[in-house]
Structures are given as structure tokens and as C-alpha cells.
A and B are shown apart, each in its own frame.
Chain A
């Protein structure tokens, strides 16, 4: 393992902040390209519910002033960047006076739990299956996983959610109750607390949403791993490992999986952002109050503050994941050294 170079670390951090800045600018510009603004959208919603809103123009004007939407764009931009630098993500315009932080703080743990558990399952199971699919001692019947995972990979996760809801919610019933709950992150009437019962309820409720993510992503990892394993099988050191008379399982994990997993780790870090975005529809399908549902409501309400805030959190998470994998790569691949970069 190579030792650490301060110069490399500094440059890598600079790239990190540059990425976040460019992305933050994009998320500032893009919502503003659409016609209308959050205040108009809110009034329109209120009109829908109440039929008529008194002094609508005055409300709009007052709120626009309150959120600074009348200022020139560049002023808004610098205010946004300044606030972001102070880690102040502002208010949610649609849920005023709730701050974006409050909303994200409520939603993030659920998504971390859901996506985290799903990631853990599909990454281990996917890579293990992929490795076994390429191994000569694996029984032939396991090969059915290849066309199966190819099919699953091409189905959108939300469609899988529907299928799972149908199978476990309606088709399979125990004492006329669904096998797995299809709504919410924990049982109705329970309050979030650190008890075993609550934790069990969370796992029970998270099963179907997690499964829909696992089923669609697992194939991608299995096929990728299988491809890497087949490449490794052709390496010269594999012939030597065979000639050395090493035990087959040892060769599998120390010579094959150990080398094949390296690109998979990078791919995982890069795909963290995509994963959370991919869970949006799944969360909505299962009325799961995580980041996905929050992003969705932000877009639906043209809630600039919320869109910027949630996107910003996602960007920082992805960039951070890539940064961490970059800095720790020498630990998993001895050929990579941070020295003198």
C-alpha cells in the first residue's frame, strides 16, 4: 500500500468542491427554466382546494418578496451559493415555515436505511452470484440466473414494486392478511423509538421496497462480476494457481473474487446517486416517506428550495462516495498508490 501524499489529498478535495459547485449551479438554473414559480403553483393548489383565494395577487407579491424571487437572478444565485456555503438550505416554499433541513432530516434516515440495506443485499448477493456463475465447479442449474438477471435488469423498479404489491399484498394472504405490508415505513400507530419491536416493524415494512430495488439491480452486478471473473480466469496467474494445487475455494476467493471485485467497488461508489434517484418511484409506490418522496413532492410543487436542497444533498453524497473510494483505493488495490500523484 502506498503512503499518503498531502498534495494529492488537497488536489482531490479541490476537485470535490469544484464538482459540488458546478452541480449546485446546475440545480439552481434548471428549476428556473420551467415556466411559473412555486408561489403561483401554491396559489393554484389553494385555488383547487378552496375554489377562490382572496387577495391572491397580494399573497403572491408578499411571498415573492419574502423569498426574494423578485431580485435579479444573479443576486438570487449569490444568495443561494452563500447560503449553501453556510450549509443553510433555506425554507421549503411549499411547506413554509418548514426548513429544507427539517424535511431532509426527517426523510434521509429512511432512505439511508432502505437504500443501504438494498445496496448491501444486491452488492453481496449480486457479486457472489456473478462469481459463482463464472466458476467451473458451480452446478449447471445455477446458470438459469443469467437470463433471469438479464430480464430483471431491464424491468423498471416501479413495475417490480407493482408486481410485488400484487403478489405479496393480494395473491398470497395469511389469515386474510397480506404477507407483507405495502404502505409506510413502520406500523401505523407506532412512534419512532429505539426498541426492538419498532426496528422489527421497520425491517418488515422495508422488505417489499428493498426487494424491488434488489431484484432490478442485482442482475447488473451479477453480470458485471461474471464478466470480470471470466477475464480473470484467462489470466496467467490462474493457470499457476491451478498448477500449485491450491484448494478450489481458496483460489475462488483469493485469486478470482479478490481481483474481480476491484472495478465493482468503483462502480458502486459512482452509482450511489443513481440508486437514490432510482428509489424515488419505489418510495412513492410504497408510500415510504424517504428522500424519493421528498424529491417528488419538491418537483410536483415547483418548490425551488426543496429541489435545490434535496439535489444538493444527493450531489454531496455521490461526490463524497467517489472521494472516499478514491482515497481508500490503495487499501484494496496494492497497485494503486497515492504517493507522488
Chain B
């Protein structure tokens, strides 16, 4: 097996003169087109361009509320964009088509290359070309110290070249790492994609608010999440059983209002073995439960409001108020009492006697009105600024609505009427026009959490490491070949008896330093024994 070149022969399809079926020919040509570098480059650019709308338009996976806003702001355009999948770009058919084609092209490219590379690794460096002087690097050594092929081979081997000796010729090659790295990089990319696929098939996540206190504990079932998404291979019953209770939430703030530290302490109840433990977590250090991770996404306060209706029955609401977005934690929310004013004698519920309050919670209310925004995110001077409503809350209509806002339609059509407005500080009581009262008892902290299980991540991590290693090999390694040919002594040479050595070098990839390397190699062969001093001196430079 002494092929001159390690390049494979032309694909077998071209060699036999037999006519092949036109469909097969079409398939073969399409495959060749798809796996060509040109197609791969075009697909890469399509992928980049296709990702742009994903950053310009709001995405359901990232911010569903912004998508809804977009629909309100652009009623004509939005449905059309929706049809094109513009609000779910990264799950859309066309985006998937691009990356699947790209990966097909990639696999189609790396498989034959891997085969060739394995073949090249098993093959000896090719025999020297006839005319070494035609190579980019060429030198003639007279009377070198290492004059026989084996000695030259030894010099090369010391420099970690792959060497083979054929008679009076020495062939050597180096830099196989380039192609190895190249293949490793591309295989790793496929592995990353597989990791993503595993994660989306077998992963799940859910988001919810968790108010502090044992009576607000939550257990990991799908119904308990405000928003949940399960992979296609996950069933609701697959969710691991555990319960979480928020025991304490601490937040430190700078004087400017910027947060400097959050810390949530929870009790975890593993229902499988009945064990409980206390654990703390924060932003950047999630609670890792093994079966799932719990991430701290946000926090706020839930005002405790006690309503005493006209019949003297009391109900308490601990509804979380949501941050309105300013840095000082002004919060908006609703406390609804749909079961208020039920006549204790008849037990009948008057549909137009339901009560609700909406408005703001200000952790640090200003000293004087308007009481519209908080002055600081911690509770220095807490107050709720509420409007009272009485009437039909519209909860029985069966139309899904937000629990953080009143049904505006009921207010617009007059079925729900505002009956007062007041600022309450903790402990204060507000008596409404019908004699019922509302007391503001204080607040409980709440946290927003995301509970997630993402298999495939460790696979992706490993793939990322090999990807980087491969990338560096492919970018920084350089494939090159050198040959040495020892000729018998030329007649008339002054040092009769010593032989002539001819050397040639061929960089197989761009390698600006190859001339220097070749010169050093030639010098090493001429000097042999002094080789190591020379290298030491080079190192000093």
C-alpha cells in the first residue's frame, strides 16, 4: 500500500460507465449539492438571517405578555406574522428546516471526511515526489551529520513527525490534529443539537409565585403552576413529588434602591421518602433537588387584607401584588372577595354584592400624596392605596381572566361599581359605605420561582468542551509534509565519501511559519547532535 497521495480515488459512482437510473442520479446530485461547502455556507447565512426576527419581534417562549401587547398594538399585522410563525421563530417550521438541512449537510460532509481521515491515519506518509525542487520548500544538504535515512528519520521522530523510510527516502507528515479537531468540532455540534433535542423531549418546567408561610406551600403538580410546559415525552404524572414552603425571604438594598442581595429559605418536603430539609437559594445559586432545579426569578409582597362583610363574616386575602417595573417595588394587584355578603339566613349569594379591591402596594409610601409610587423597595413605610368595588366580578362568566386585575368589562358595563378609595397603613381599618370594613394587617413576602428539569444538559456541556478542543485543533494545528532523499556521493566532491541529501517541504494548509520550520528541520538534520542546543537557543529569542 504505497499510494502517493492519501486522497481517496474519485467516488465509485463516476468510475463505472454504467448508466444509472435518472431518479438515483437526481438524488445523488441533490445529495452532493446539499453536502457541498457552498450550500453549507448559504444555509449558515440563512440561519443567521432567520434568527433576526426572533430578536426584533417578541417571542412567546421568552415574553408571552409582550406578544399579547403586540397583538393589541398591531391588530392588522400581528395575525399575519403569527401565520408565518414570527412569534415562535425558533420553533417554526422554516427555522427548523434550515438547521435540519444544515446539520444534514454537515453530517453528509463529515462522514466521508472521517472515513478518509481514519484511512490517512492508518497510512504511512506518502512517497517523495520525483522532483523535490518543485516543492514550496527545498534544500540540498552537503555532508550532513545525519546522512543515512534512519538517522534522518530519528531526527524527525524526535520532533514528533510521523515518519516512514522507503529505501533511500524518508517521508514525514505532521499535523493530523487539524483534521481530527475539525471532525471533533463538527461531531460535537451534532451532539449539542442532540442534547437540545433530549432536553425538549424529556424536560419540563413550571413557573409560579410562592407566598411565604406553611399555608401557602406548593407541591409539584402541574395544576399548581401558573404556567407550565412539559416536553412531548413527559406526562403530568412524571413530575417528581416534592413540596416547597417559603420560610423566609431576605433582600438587601443599597440606598439608591438597587438590590444587593436576595436569599430565600425554603423547607423541602421530599414526599417519596418523607424526609424534609431546609435549604437556601438565590439568584445565581439555584436550589438543586436532583429531580428538578428551583430558580429564583423575582420577589415581592402580598398584602394581607381582612374584609368583614355587612353580615359580620370575615375573609382574609393574601394575594401577591405584582411589581409594576420601577426600581422601588411599586406593586399592583387585586384582592377579590367573591363570596362576600352571602346572607347567612338564606345562604343565598347575591351576584351583585361581590366585593373587590384593586390598587397599589407601596413598600415605602411617600409622606404625602399622591400615593402612586414607592420611594424605596424595602418596607420602610408600607401602605396600600386601594379602590373598593362592589357588584358582579364576572368570575362566573367562564371567561379566563387575570387574577391580578379586575375584569375591566364588568366596570365598563356598570355591573361593577367603584365605591371608595383610601390609603391604608398597617393596622388601619377602612369602613365602607355599607358598614363593611377592610383591615390592612401587613404583608407576606413572596418569590417567583421557576422549577425546571432539563435533561441533556450534561451531554451538552461535555459536547461544548469537546467542541472547543476540536475547534482549537482545527484552527491552530497545521498539516505539512517533508521528504528527504539521500543520494550517493557525487563524484569530485571535496569530501569524498559523504552523501548528498535533498529535502523538500509541502505545507498542506496555510502556514506562514513553515519556511522557518523547514529551515530549522534542515539545520537539525545537518547538525544532528547539535540539534538540541540550537533549539534551546531558538527558545531564548
B is a partner of A: no
